[in-house]
A and B are shown apart, each in its own frame.
Chain A
Amino acid sequence: MIAKPVREGSPWRGLWAVVAKEMADHLTSVRMGILEVIVLLTAAVTLYMALQNLPSGTSDFLFLRLFTISQDPLPAFVGFLGVLVPLIAIVLGFDSINGEFNRRTLSRVLAQPIYRDALLLGKFLAGLFTLALVLTAIWLMIIGLGIFRLGVPPTGEEVARGLLFLLATIAYGGIWLGLAMVFSVRFRQPATAALASISVWIFFSVFWGMLVGLIAQGLGRGIAGQIQLELFLARLSPNTLYAESILAILNPEVRALGPLLLVQFLQLQHWGVRSPLPLSQSLLLVWPQLTGLIAGTIVLFAIGYVLFQRQEIRA
C-alpha cells in the first residue's frame, strides 16, 4: 500500500484571491446587470404597492409588512424573492467550473499555487457574497424608503427580524448556488448544467407539491399519518423550508408551522391569547428550517467538492 502523499501548506491558500477575482467577474458581467435591474424593479414595485396598501391604524411591525403586503395580481416582495433568488443563484453558479474548463483556463489557474479546494470554495463563496451583496442592497433600499415614507424608524426587533429574513434568503440562495455548482462540475456543457439546475428548481416549485400529495395518499396510514408524511416530504424541498422560515420570521403572530395536534388546537382556541411571539421563540420555531437550509447548502457544496476532486481536469 502506497502511503498517501501529504499536502504541502493549507488547502485554502489563495482562496481570497479567487473570491476577489470571481466577485469582480460577477459584478461586472452583463447577466448580473440584467438580474440586478429585474430585482431592483421588483423591489421598487412591490414596495410601492405595500406602501399604498399598508393598513392604517396598525403600528406593530410596520416594516415587516413592507416585505409581505401584496396587491393582486402582483405577489409580495417575498413571493418574488422565492422565484428570483434561485434564478440569480443558478445564473451565478451554472458555468463556474465547466466554463473554465471549456475556455481551457482551468489548468492555467491550477498551475498557480492554488489547490482545487480553494478554487471551488472561492467560486462558491464569491457567488454567495455576490448574492448577499445584491440582497443586502435591496434590503437596505426597502428599509430606507420605508423610513422615508413611514416617518418612523424600525424597532430593534424589526431590524433583527429583517436581518434574519435576509440570512434565510441568503441561505436559500446558497442551496441553489450549491446545486448549480454541482451540475457545473458534473456536466461539461454549461447549457446542460443550466438546464439541469432549472429543471430541479421547476420540479421543486411546481411538481413536488403534487407529488408529495400523491405519495402521502398512497403511503400514509390514516389521516394523521398522511398529513405527517406529506409535511415531511414537503419539507425536503428548499422552497417549503424557505417559505416556512420567512412566514414565521416576518409574521410574529405565527405560532406554529404545519398542522396542529388536536390538543394544541384546543389549547390555542380556548386559552391562547393572540399576541406576537418574542423573537427568540420565532427563531426557535423556524430553527429546523433555517438549519436545514444552511446544512443543505453545506452538503451540496460537499458533494460538488467530492465530484470536483475526483474529476480528471487535464484535457
Chain B
Amino acid sequence: MKRVVSAALLILLILVLPALAQKPRGLTLSTPYPAQSVQVGETVTISLTLSNRGLAPQIVRVSMKEIAEGWKASLTGGGRPVQAVYVDTDDSVSLNLKLEPPSGIQAGAYRFVVRAQGQGAQSELPIELTVEAQLPPQLAFETELPTRRGSPTTTFRYSVTLTNKGEQETAVNLEAEAPEGFQVTFKLRFGNEEVTSLPIKAGESKSLDIEVRPPKQAQAGEYPITVRALGGQAQALLSLKAIITGQAELNVTTPDGRLSTQATAGQENTLKLKIENNGTAPARDIELSSFPPVGWTVEFDPKTIAEITPNNFAEVTAKIKPSDKTVAGDYMLSITARSEGISDSAEFRITVVTSTLWGIVGIGIIVIALGAVGWAVSRFGRR
C-alpha cells in the first residue's frame, strides 16, 4: 500500500511539477503594444502593467534603463511621477510611460528600456518607437497668364489656381506684396466676396481671381506683384506682373484756376490758358479749339502744342474778340484741347463789357447843350 501511495505521489509529482515549474514566479513588466509607430513631433504615452507573481509583497523600484538620445521619458502613476511601486502577491499596478521627442527629430527607430527592480527579482521591458516621416503639407500656386497690361485705370485680373498637394486639410492665408498704392484683392472665382483665408482639403484645388488696382497716378512701367499663400508650414509664391502703359490726361484751365474773364466787345482780349497733362504718358499734337458765340473770333497762340510731358503744362494765349454788337453780360465759351483720342474742355464765363465810347458821346451831347445855353446867354444877354 505504501508503495502504491508513494508511487502515486511520484506520479503526481511528475504530473504536477512541470505544471508548477511552468507557472512563472517573479515580477513582470508588460505593455500590450511594445512597438509603435508615431508621427513626427508626437508625444507618446504608453500604459505599463507591473505584475507580481508568487512573490512576497514588496516595493519595486522602476526606472528607465535606456532612453533614446534626446528624448524625455517619465513614469507616472496616479498622476504623479513615480520612482517605486508597491505590489502585492499576485497583483498588478498600472503605470504610464510618457515619451517626449526632441524637437527636430528625424524619422527612424528609437529604443527604450524600462526596468523594474524588486527584491531578488527584476523585469525589463524594451519599447521600440518608429518615428515615421510624414509628407508635409504642400501648396502650389499656378496661373496661365502671370502678366497683364493696361492703363492706370484698368483693374488687372489674374486667374490663379491654388492646390493643396499635402495630405491634410489646411487653412490657407493669402497675402500679397505690391508696390505702394496698389490694391490687391482675392476673390473666389464666380464669387464677389473678397477672401483672405480659405480652407483647402487635401488634394483639392481652388480657383481664385486676383484683382490688382493700380493708383491713378501710377507712372508707366512694370510692376511686380508677389502673391503668397501660407498654410501651416507650407507656403507657395506666385509672381505676377502688371505692365502699366501710360495714358495722357489733359486738363484745360488758367494759371490762377479762374474760369472767368472780362472781354470788351469789338476788341481783342487775351486770356491765358494753361493746358495740363495730369496723365502718365506724354500727350502729343494737342489741338485747341473753341465753340464761341456766333460772330466772335477766338484764336489760339500757339494753335497746336507738340508735346506735353506728364505732370507738365503748356501755356496758350487765347485771343477772344466778341463781335462789336455783342450785348453786355455773361457768355459761356467752351475751349477744348484734343490729342490722339483724348480731350478735355473747360467752360469759360466771359463777361462782355461794351465800349465806353458812346458814354463819351453822350457827355459830348450834354456839353453841346450847355454850350448852346452859354451862347444864348452871351448872344441874348441884356444890359
Give me the interface of A with B, judged by CB distance under 8 Å: 5-8, 11, 115-117, 255-256, 260-261, 263-264, 266-268, 270-273, 275, 277-278, 280-281, 284-285, 287-288, 290-292, 294-295, 298-299, 301-302, 305-306, 309-310
Nearest CB of chain B from residue A3's CB, rounded to whole Å:
12
B292 cross-chain contacts in A, Cβ below 8 A = 271
Which of B323, B327, B332, B376 has most chain A Cβ within 10 Å?
Answer: B327
B359 cross-chain contacts in A, Cβ below 8 A = 284, 287
A273 cross-chain contacts in B, Cβ below 8 A = 329-332, 349
Nearest CB of chain A from residue B331's CB, rounded to whole Å:
4
CA distance in complex: A306, B327 (Å): 41
Q: Which of A116, A291, A305 contacts B373 (CB 8 A)?
A: A305
The reply to whether A309 and B381 form a contact with Cβ atoms under 8 Å apart is yes
Q: Which of B294, B363, B372, B381 contacts A267 (CB 8 A)?
A: B294
CA distance in complex: A115, B354 (Å): 45
Q: Which of B330, B362, B366 contacts A275 (CB 8 A)?
A: B330
Q: Which of A6, A7, A291 contacts B366 (CB 8 A)?
A: A291
Q: Taking the complex as formed, is B356 at the interface, i.e. its CB lies under 8 A from any CB of chain A?
A: yes
A275 cross-chain contacts in B, Cβ below 8 A = 329-330
Q: Which of B296, B327, B363 contacts A268 (CB 8 A)?
A: B327
CA distance in complex: A90, B376 (Å): 24
Q: Which of A11, A277, A291 contacts B365 (CB 8 A)?
A: A291
Q: Closest residue of chain A to B294, judged by CB?
A: A266
A272 cross-chain contacts in B, Cβ below 8 A = 293, 327, 329-332
B325 cross-chain contacts in A, Cβ below 8 A = 261, 263-264
CA distance in complex: A270, B8 (Å): 144
Given contacts A117-B381, A267-B294, A270-B293, contact A298 B330 (CB under 8 A): no
Nearest CB of chain A from residue B274's CB, rounded to whole Å:
23
B381 cross-chain contacts in A, Cβ below 8 A = 7, 11, 115, 117, 309
B334-376 contacts to A, CB under 8 A, are 349, 351, 353-354, 356, 358-359, 362-363, 365-366, 368-370, 372-373, 376
The reply to whether B383 and A271 form a contact with Cβ atoms under 8 Å apart is no
The reply to whether A267 and B295 form a contact with Cβ atoms under 8 Å apart is yes
B328 cross-chain contacts in A, Cβ below 8 A = 255, 277, 281, 284-285
The reply to whether B329 and A284 form a contact with Cβ atoms under 8 Å apart is no
B366 cross-chain contacts in A, Cβ below 8 A = 291, 294-295, 298
B380 cross-chain contacts in A, Cβ below 8 A = 305-306, 309-310
CA distance in complex: A263, B370 (Å): 38
Number of interface residues of B (CB under 8 A): 37
CA distance in complex: A2, B178 (Å): 112
CA distance in complex: A116, B383 (Å): 10
Given contacts A11-B377, A294-B366, contact A299 B383 (CB under 8 A): no
Main SS of the interface on chain B? mixed
27 contacts between A and B (CB under 8 A): A6-B383, A7-B382, A11-B377, A115-B382, A116-B382, A255-B329, A261-B325, A263-B295, A266-B293, A267-B293, A268-B327, A270-B293, A271-B332, A271-B333, A275-B330, A278-B353, A284-B328, A290-B362, A294-B366, A294-B369, A295-B368, A298-B366, A301-B373, A305-B377, A305-B380, A309-B382, A310-B380
Main SS of the interface on chain A? helix
A288 cross-chain contacts in B, Cβ below 8 A = 358, 362
The reply to whether A287 and B358 form a contact with Cβ atoms under 8 Å apart is yes
The reply to whether B354 and A264 form a contact with Cβ atoms under 8 Å apart is no
Produce 1/0 per residue, B288-332, CB < 8 A to A.
000011111000000000000000000000000001011111111
Nearest CB of chain A from residue B354's CB, rounded to whole Å:
6
Nearest CB of chain A from residue B259's CB, rounded to whole Å:
12
The reply to whether B326 and A264 form a contact with Cβ atoms under 8 Å apart is yes
Nearest CB of chain B from residue A293's CB, rounded to whole Å:
10
B333 cross-chain contacts in A, Cβ below 8 A = 271
Nearest CB of chain B from residue A82's CB, rounded to whole Å:
22
B326 cross-chain contacts in A, Cβ below 8 A = 264, 267
The reply to whether B329 and A271 form a contact with Cβ atoms under 8 Å apart is no
CA distance in complex: A3, B377 (Å): 17
Nearest CB of chain A from residue B291's CB, rounded to whole Å:
8
CA distance in complex: A277, B351 (Å): 9
